Amino acid sequence: MPHIDLPEGYPGIRSLFMFSPETAKPLNDLVQTLLHDPTTSTLTPGERELIATYTSSLNHCKYCASTHGAIAKYQLGGNEALVKDVISDPSKAPVSPKLRALLIIAAQVQEDGKKVKTEDVANARQQGATDKEIHDTVLIAAAFCMYNRYVDGLATWAPDDPGIYDAIGKQRASEGYLTKPFKV
């Protein structure tokens, strides 16, 4: 049961957006720019969603990991196996060496920003990552340490039905983050 009185029929962060529309606006604007808008980063929306999914999975945030896993799947042309591979072990997942190096950085940020070392950044650069891509990776991982804590810190509802996450994933992959959530 959630720690505060939240509207029923909306899972996870969606219930918090309904509870506090004022803070919902910048929280959604941030993911729209950081994850969805294809023009704001040289990482694809699919790659960015994989970083968000992996960070959420490391934080054991079921709602965020399932939701962004589903969004990533739709952004990657339905490749659910790739999403599962990244979650279980990015070092063995069939992603580019650059994304693999960036996922290592994301995992360090998830633990503590100070865990990111010069050699990890050098390795990402060697695999072709730009300054901006390194920046975006750190900020996506940091942002999901916020979203995950917001969702779990207030004990929001994380549905068990995979169909709910799939429907949310489909909606967000096609519409972005600025449209209204639907009632479950």
> Among residues 77, 89, 112, 119, which is the contact residue for other proteins, using CB under 8 A?
112
Contact 76, 82 (CB under 8 A): yes
Q: Residue 155 carries which side chain, given as an amino acid letter?
A: A
Considering only the stretches 2-10, 44-52, 73-81, 164-172, report the one whose residues sit in contact with other proteins under the rule CB under 8 A: 2-10
- Write out the two tokens for 153: 């810190």
Nearest one of 86, 101, 165, 168 to 137, comparing CA atoms: 101
Q: Should residue 95 be labelled a site residue for other proteins when binding is judged by CB under 8 A?
A: no
> Among residues 146, 174, 175, 180, which is the contact residue for other proteins, using CB under 8 A?
146
> Among residues 43, 65, 83, 143, which is the contact residue for other proteins, using CB under 8 A?
143
The strand ranges marked E within 10-151 are none
Distances in Å between the alpha carbon of 160 and those of 38, 135, 163, 165? Answer: 31, 34, 9, 9
Q: Should residue 104 be labelled a site residue for other proteins when binding is judged by CB under 8 A?
A: no
- How far apart, in whole angstroms, are the C-alpha atoms of residue 81 and residue 15? 29
Q: How many helices (H) and strands (E) does the chain have?
A: 9, 0
Helix H or strand E encompassing 22: helix 21-31
Nearest approach, Cβ of residue 37 and other proteins (Å)? 9
Q: Specify the residue, 29 or 163, whose C-beta has the smaller distance to other proteins.
A: 29
- Write out the two tokens for 17: 């957006």
Q: Should residue 21 be labelled a site residue for other proteins when binding is judged by CB under 8 A?
A: no
Q: Residue 120 carries which side chain, given as an amino acid letter?
A: D
Considering only the stretches 84-92, 95-103, 106-114, 164-172, report the one whose residues sit in contact with other proteins under the rule CB under 8 A: 106-114
Q: Residue 115 carries which side chain, given as an amino acid letter?
A: K
Nearest approach, Cβ of residue 105 and other proteins (Å)? 8
Q: Should residue 16 be labelled a site residue for other proteins when binding is judged by CB under 8 A?
A: yes
Q: Should residue 25 be labelled a site residue for other proteins when binding is judged by CB under 8 A?
A: yes
Question: In the complex, which residues of this chain contact other proteins (CB under 8 A)?
Answer: 3-5, 16, 19-20, 22-23, 25-27, 29-30, 33-34, 40, 59-61, 105, 108-109, 112-114, 116, 118, 121, 131-132, 134-136, 138-139, 141-143, 145-155
